[in-house]
């Protein structure tokens, strides 16, 4: 909004921004967040030397958030690092999530027969097209639960957990923490007060980006168009379109 000349007033009940996905500093605020009365020991050093993520944050390389950061030029103040590996904890051990065919064959996360069934599942997912019933293979996307899909391919619970967490970044695990989610009943068309939804902890921000685009449309009456925004930037900075 500020890039488009709007004035933004940011209010937060906490002394830090970001809600459930905050990076908290100083360290004293983290101790308060979790109700630890004595605060950090002196051995931890200065509180402002700490900046602790409440939840790890992953940016999809070609995701909406990266495009928004580029558009708003926030990337001037950020450094990106490629994730070198993804790991899961199973049976008291840490395993690397295979990212190549060679790693998949050598991985101990699954037995040989499980790998064969899992491969069939991945081929099914890769070929699935919601607009082409020929790819359904008996799975109605509007009626069939994911649990039934797993059952169709005879996948065990360990494989199901691995698929949901390590591959699909499933984010609604109640064993970690959950927060009440709120959404305004007023869309702002009359009051001109535009409220975002509240956020539960999320690792990759794609859903929060959808909320940002929704607010943008309600405020301006038009969709947030990345290509159009890029053209406007080129006009402002005198850059030629590629």
46, 60: one domain = no
Whether residue 26 sits in one domain with residue 46? yes
In the chain, pLDDT over 90 holds for what percent of residues? Answer: 17
The pLDDT of residue 42: 92
Give the number of other CB atoms < 10 A from CB of residue 97.
16
Predicted TM-score (pTM) of this structure: 0.51
* Claim to verify: residue 159 and residue 102 sit in the same structural domain: yes
C-alpha 98/C-alpha 85 separation (Å) is 9
Spatial contact of 202 and 18, defined as CB atoms under 8 Å apart: no
Beta-carbon-side half-sphere exposure of residue 177 (alpha carbons within 13 Å): 10
Which regions of the chain does DSSP assign to beta strands (E)? 23-24, 52-53, 87-90, 93-96
What is the per-residue pLDDT across 79-129, written as a single tens digit (0 to 9) for each?
A: 777 777 778 877 888 888 887 878 888 888 888 898 999 999 999 999 999
- Name the residue range of residue 143's domain: 87-167
Question: Which residue, 115, 144, 167, sits at the end of a domain?
Answer: 167
Same domain (yes/no): 64, 129 = no
Say whether both 71 and 122 belong to one domain.
Answer: no
Report the domain count for the chain: 3
And the tokens for 128?
């699935």
13-40 residue pLDDT tens = 887 777 777 888 899 998 998 899 889 9
Tokens found for residue 74:
């926030």
Residue 99: CB atoms within 10 Å = 12
143/92 same-domain check: yes
Residues 101, 159: one domain? Answer: yes
Q: Are 157 and 100 in the same domain?
A: yes
The CA distance from 166 to 161, in Å, is: 8
């Amino acid at each position: 909004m500020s890039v488009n000349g709007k004035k933004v007033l940011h209010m937060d009940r906490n002394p830090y921004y970001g809600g459930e996905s905050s990076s908290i500093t100083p360290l004293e605020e983290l101790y308060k967040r979790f109700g630890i009365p004595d605060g950090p020991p002196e051995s931890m050093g200065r509180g402002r030397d700490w900046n602790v993520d409440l939840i790890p944050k992953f940016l999809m390389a070609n995701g909406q958030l990266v495009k928004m950061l580029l558009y708003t030029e926030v990337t001037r103040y950020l450094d990106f690092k490629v994730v070198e590996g993804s790991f899961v904890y199973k049976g008291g051990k840490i395993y690397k999530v295979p990212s190549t065919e060679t790693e998949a064959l050598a991985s101990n996360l699954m037995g040989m027969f499980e790998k064969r069934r899992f491969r069939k599942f991945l081929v099914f997912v890769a070929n699935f097209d919601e607009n082409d019933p020929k790819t359904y293979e008996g799975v109605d996307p509007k009626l069939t639960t994911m649990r039934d899909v797993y059952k169709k391919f005879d996948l065990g619970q360990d494989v199901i957990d691995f698929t949901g967490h390590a591959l699909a970044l499933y984010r609604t695990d109640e064993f970690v923490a959950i927060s009440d989610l709120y959404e305004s009943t007023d869309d702002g068309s009359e009051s001109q007060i535009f409220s975002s939804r509240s956020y539960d902890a999320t690792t990759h921000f794609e859903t929060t980006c959808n909320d940002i685009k929704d607010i943008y449309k309600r405020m301006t009456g038009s969709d947030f168009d990345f290509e159009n925004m890029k053209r406007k930037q080129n006009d402002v900075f005198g850059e030629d379109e590629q």
